[in-house]
Structure 1
Amino acid sequence: MPVSAFRPQAWPLGVFLSAAVGFGAATLPSLLAYNLSPSPTYLNQALAFALWAMFALFTAPQRPGRGPWALWAAMAVLAAAALWSWGPGALPASLALSALATLFAAAVLVGAGAGARARPDAERLFVAFAWAWVVCGTLNIAIALVQVFAPSWADGAWLAASSVPGRAVGNLRQPNHLSSLLLWHCIAVLALLELGRLRRAWAAVLLALGVFAVVLTASRTGLVSVLLLAAWGLLDRRLSRAARLLLVAAPIAYALSWVGMAQWAELTQATFGGAQRLAEADVGGSRVAIWRDTLTLIAQQPWAGVGFGEFNLAWTLTPLPQRPVAFFDHTHNLPLQLAVELGLPLAAGVMGLLLWALWCSARAAWATPGGLGVAQRCALLMVLMIGLHSLLEYPLWYSYFLLPAAWAWGFALQADGRAAASQAALPSNTAPAAPPRPTDQAVPVYRPLVVAAAVVLAGAVFSVADYLRVASIFSSQLSQAPLAQRVASGQNSVFFAHHADYAAVTAGLPVADPARAFDRVVHYLLDARLMMAWAQSLAARGQTEAASHIAERLREFRKPDAEEFFAVCDAAAPASAASAASAPPAATLPRPFQCAPPAQVPNWRSFVRPGL
């Protein structure tokens, strides 16, 4: 891309370093294709924790003021809920500490965003932030093109191979995640156009490529988000005419790209993932089913909820004959997730705080004139975009979405100050005047934020070392020690001990206390292997009613890998009344526990132990 296509301005060293770290924070987590079991995305997330903490450090934020108070209050409520679910409740320490550390990092990035907005050179910092997402989007567009048009190039190490032919998934291996990254790219392109850092022709090209790549993901969430871009263009009259035209044209570009891909697939006999999505008989059925089940759980426990982090356990152990066959650990809807885990009163309070923060950021963004107003409105659109995604998925459970969204929200929340006054007379689509040079002046740094960001950075480094203790269980290349020794080491992990417990109970390793072997692991994600092992362990200790209940819940999932577990029921059933009459006395023995429902359906809470 020729340099003449852009309108660069000289950046002071501090802003340049912030831009460099921002490029890394936005791009590297989404580009990392390498992963280590048991989590396919943890290395990406650890990289995001470390790099966004460094971004907060390099932006040297000022005192954020009271602007983000509603966001911080919402996070404090969630932290209190996690502590309550851990202390008096049964949530394991590893899961509670992971949640608390993530909330702390998000709170730091909110403060860093607000503190960056309070700086005299706030607009330049946002330009660096926007360029980072343009670079991120451009690189992910290239990955999407390879995955769809040249899938043989994807080696799995540097470029992830798509698990769905004809559909782009990015190196994060999730089409909806790639779609959200691309839409942030589109918003950043419009921000740079409005701030005079990108020419119209290149803005049009980059936006069109971003929309085309969203088509390649075949993400329904992406389609809805493209419509949000058009709504922004229609409603925001402070944007330039060129920017509004580009935004309004986004759905047209989407439709043309879809038709073009369908024609290409027909002519070349290739696969277009979008056409396959349209042909699916159960479009959105599993998501609707999990929402229906969530409403059932809310109706059963409306006031206090099932407890922070306990949705999967409560949902799996509650009789729900029409449940979807996938194992869900999230409701795929943020308000429902809060309602089912926290209870309706507390969830309403958290949602009220989030909506108030959204309203305050919109009011601050629209009240700010000039380039800073453009920057704040674009930051707000990034928050709205990921918020829309959170109504259909759970992107905010991933640090590479949560932390930049937190920074952008903090930036949008900060009320206008002296930094914007000098630019009030400038049109929104022109570059600000050069001198005075605010970055040549001493900018007071808010030390508590800097210290907090350093803590997040140190925690990210520690978490990787902590994760490797567990990853060595699943990969002998990381450790040559015997499996039992690796599992024992992993069970002492601060953040990931539950993964080590999973390996212990599903591999049949000897455990010191069989009665407590499942106490931690069942709170993470119950799957077929874990449910079978848990039921067999309970039956071996004489708790056949509890074992039968777990088996009945497993039967509702209709999993092929559980067929052998239930095959004993077919073998135990007499072929006919005549064969039953002639059977030896042994045939009258009680049937295996997985072959009959329990006499009484226990409450799911009877399966958990407090104080883990």
Structure 2
Amino acid sequence: MHRQPLASFYNELAAGGAWAAVMLALILLPSFASPSLALPTHFPRVACIPLGLFLLLCLQSACLTIVNPMAMHVAMIYSAAATCLTYAGFRLRNLAGLTAAAAVAVTAGALVSVAIQVVQAYLPPNAFMFDGWIDLRASSRLFANLAQPNHLATYLVWGLAGVLYLLDRRVLGRRSGWLLIILMTAGMVVTASRIAPVQVVLIGAVFGMLRWQRPAVLAGFSSRARKLRACALPLALGLIYLATYWSLGWLDRTILHLNLGGSGFERLATGDVSARQHLWRYGWRMFLSSPYLGGGWGSFPYWQYQHIDRLGPVVAATSAHNVLLDLLAQTGLLGFGVFVVGMARWTVRAKLHALTGKRAFWLCMLGTTFAHALLEYPLHYAYFLLPCAFVLGALDTRPLRWPSVRSAHALCALLLPPMLAGLLVSTSDMRKLEHLFGAPDLPVAFAHYREAPAILLNPYGTFAAAAGISVNSDHPEARLQLQRDALAVLPTSQVMTNYAVALALLGRDDEAMQNVHRLRLFEPENFRANFSLLLWRSYEAGGKLTQFIGKLLALQPEMESSASNRGASGEKKGE
């Protein structure tokens, strides 16, 4: 289920629970393990990356004013969990059957996701067990059991890598393997992900390189023929993607009528990529404003709100949609250096070993996720971050000399109980937030919520109240603080509208009008609707806002002029 306010919560909860079970098994393993199983070991050197980021987040908490403590605390928990999972991967790296089991798991999971896509395409919206999923009459992008279509596309690419590994090991027959490849490619096409074709060719190139490095497989061929056979796999996968795209488009237009028109190719050709460019520009400017320690983890949304007057229109977002810019903006050169230097050293160590089927599969998982992270932020989600941390540990070859084997094992044992407690607390928090967001009478529900608020996810409760409860003259200072806290979570139009009214109730009309200008820059295409909501909320607040309402009404001629200009521009484009 995908529920408000966190559509990915139950996916991340499942991922966190599964990896916590892995860690629990490793901690208990020495008490009943046979000598053939891996015993406790050192941390791998790649553990320095999540551990270094964890220490940096602690430093930020001590030195900076953190506008969104919840995001900081969640990032600390995820960094600690990633550190433990690099240890788990390093310890289990030589376990027989590990890679085959992982390949079977991601392949089976990808098939389940494709099956759910089919069900999702034909079920009505908000059907039983599908509460909160999209209505296909409004959108054609299927996301199955993940919260976003792009996330599903990357997971299906993982499944594709699993199929190629199983084909390489001859676990799957060729006919079965290529049938699975076509099914997963079809699932990718209907997500309309722009990065999916690149990811498909990437894993084809990795497994093609694997064939190139096996002379026995290509024995009897000339050098040129060997090169062509090595290139055959990425070309074949690319052609399958194109053929599947055209076939599904034809079927949808003639038989299915599911409004599946649209793909990553069409979105690249006709979609506006300026939104990403604006986010990247904000990330870069945020880095320049705080180059050493960064602006603080989780501060990107509020930094957008504060600087939109100077930097221009942008989409409200929690991230710069690029892992490198995110690190620069929110953790500065220190965090960026920890990540880049650590990954560079890990890459050098990885290149010292010959490419095998096992390493090809794991590298495909990492490479496709990193490619996705250059355009979005999949590593903010447990179901991508934790497996990648495990894989980094599994592919590392050098241990840290400190801490000792016993200390490393004890540290993971000490970190596991707080992580399990975090899972339980966040589950309880989510139940409270679901009730709050779905309440028919939000003011009454929020009053009950405040008696026993969420612990870890409380800012989302504040956000619900700030966005959904009208502002009036009762306790204006408290209501203003409520809106300000919600802006740190995400400056949406509802929150900014109520914030402007709260400022006006305190007689701060200039600040309120500045907020209206910022609202216009965040959502210029929806400003007419937001302006109407703002007027309605201002009238609803009572007669104290007569002067402020007059200033708002003075904006109407300018708003009508800009709307007509946009319409004329659209007509010219149509011509």
Shorter-chain TM-score: what band? 0.7 to 0.9
Q: Is the 8 A contact 1:332 1:394 kept in 2?
A: yes
- The CA deviation at 1:276 is 9.0
Are positions 1:57 and 2:24 aligned together? yes
Q: Write 1 or 2 for the structure with the bigger share of helix.
A: 2
Q: Give the counterpart letter for 1:206 in structure 2.
A: L
- Which of residues 217, 229, 241 is equivalent to 2:191? 217
Are positions 1:458 and 2:432 aligned together? no
Q: Give the counterpart letter for 2:491 in structure 1.
A: L
Distance 1:82 1:214, change over 3 A: farther
- 3-state SS of paired residue (2:308): coil
Distance 1:358 1:465, change over 3 A: farther
Distance 1:46 1:299, change over 3 A: same
Structure 1 segment 17-416 matched on structure 2, within 5 A: 34-58=1-25, 60=29, 62-67=39-44, 69-81=45-57, 83-85=59-61, 88-118=64-94, 122-148=95-121, 150=122, 155=127, 157-158=129-130, 160-161=133-134, 163=136, 165-236=139-210, 237-238=212-213, 246-268=233-255, 270=257, 271-274=259-262, 278=266, 281-319=270-308, 326-344=315-333, 346-364=335-353, 366=354, 373-414=356-397
**Hey, what's the Cα distance between the residues in 2 that align with 1:282 and 1:412?**
38
Unpaired runs of 5+ in structure 1?
Answer: 1-33, 368-372, 417-444, 572-585, 597-612
Q: Give the counterpart letter for 1:548 in structure 2.
A: M
Q: Is the 8 A contact 1:361 1:380 kept in 2?
A: no
Are positions 1:501 and 2:462 aligned together? yes
Q: Is the 8 A contact 2:193 2:264 kept in 1?
A: no
Q: Is the 8 A contact 1:376 1:411 kept in 2?
A: no
1:517 matched to which residue of 2? 482
**Hey, what's the Cα distance between the residues in 1 that align with 2:546 and 2:65?**
44
Q: Is the 8 A contact 1:131 1:188 kept in 2?
A: yes
- The CA deviation at 1:269 is 7.4
- The CA deviation at 1:397 is 1.0
Q: Give the counterpart letter for 1:308 in structure 2.
A: W
Deviations 1:454-491 (A, max 9, x none): 543332122211322333322349x9994243331454
- The CA deviation at 1:138 is 0.9
Distance 1:412 1:594, change over 3 A: farther
Q: Is the 8 A contact 1:46 1:460 kept in 2?
A: yes
1:564 matched to which residue of 2? 532
Deviations 1:287-333 (A, max 9, x none): 22322333343444444432221111111221357855632111111
**Hey, what's the Cα distance between the residues in 2 that align with 1:321 and 1:594?**
25
Deviations 1:42-68 (A, max 9, x none): 12211211112113333546434342x
Q: Is the 8 A contact 2:43 2:87 kept in 1?
A: no
Distance 1:243 1:234, change over 3 A: closer
Deviations 1:558-587 (A, max 9, x none): 23441215659999xxxxxxxxxxxxxx99
Aligned length: 508
2:404 matched to which residue of 1? none
Q: Give the counterpart letter for 1:137 in structure 2.
A: A
1:11 matched to which residue of 2? none
1:475 matched to which residue of 2? 438
Distance 1:503 1:469, change over 3 A: same
- 3-state SS of paired residue (1:350): helix
- The CA deviation at 1:345 is 5.2
- 3-state SS of paired residue (1:39): coil
Deviations 1:17-46 (A, max 9, x none): xxxxxxxxxxxxxxxxx2332212212211
2:562 matched to which residue of 1? none
- 3-state SS of paired residue (2:321): coil
- The CA deviation at 1:156 is 5.7
- 3-state SS of paired residue (2:107): helix
**Hey, what's the Cα distance between the residues in 2 that align with 1:524 and 1:516?**
13
Distance 1:495 1:253, change over 3 A: same
> Structure 1 length as normaliser, TM-score?
0.73
